[in-house]
Amino acid sequence: MSAAAEILVPGKAGEGEALVLTAPISFWGGVDPKTGRIADVRHPQHGEVISGRVLFLPGTIGSSSASAVLMELVHNGRAPAALVLHEPDAILLLGLIVAREMGWETPMAIRLERGAFDAYRGTAVRVGADGAVTIAV
C-alpha cells in the first residue's frame, strides 16, 4: 500500500511502527516531552510511546504550547519518526519549523486523508522524502 501525501513541513524521511491515534490529543499535558509517552490518562492510547514511530493524528486539542512540546521532543531525541495529520495544525507544526531553524534534525510532517489512516495500523511505515507513505517491507 502506498499513498501520496501533501508535505506540510519538510524534514527527515522517517520509518517506524505506525501509531494511529483513535482520538485527538493535546500535546500540552498530553505527551511527556522527556519520554515521548502519552501521559493523558483520558486518552485511549495512554501509555503508548510516540518516539520513533510514525504518528497518525486524527486531530489535536488546541493549546498554543503544543509547538513548544513538539520542539522539546525533537530536542530530546524523543520525536516521532514522522507526523501524519488529517488537517494541518499551524500551532503544532510551528514546533517543527522552529526546531529546524535551531538547526535540529526534524521529522517530516505530512497531510493524508483520515480515511487512509486505518490501512497503516499495526504496520511498519515509511514516509519518504517526497511525502509518499508506504508500508515498509
Q: What is the pLDDT of residues 100-115, one digit of tens each?
A: 999 999 999 999 998 8
Tell me, what's the pLDDT at 120? 95
Q: How many CA atoms lie within 13 A of 116 on its CB side?
A: 17
Tell me, what's the pLDDT at 32? 97
Q: C-alpha angle 79/62/55, rounded to 5°?
A: 30
Q: What is the pLDDT of residues 30-47, one digit of tens each?
A: 999 999 999 999 999 999
CA gap 67, 56 in Å, rounded: 17
CA gap 108, 114 in Å, rounded: 18
- Residue among 2, 51, 63, 65 flagged as catalytic: 63
Cell 511525502 found at: 131
Tell me, what's the pLDDT at 90? 92
CA gap 122, 68 in Å, rounded: 29
Catalytic: 26? no
Could you report the average pLDDT of every consecutive run of 10 residues in the chain (137 residues)?
82 96 94 96 97 95 88 97 94 94 96 92 94 88
Q: Which three cell numbers stand for residue 25?
A: 490529543
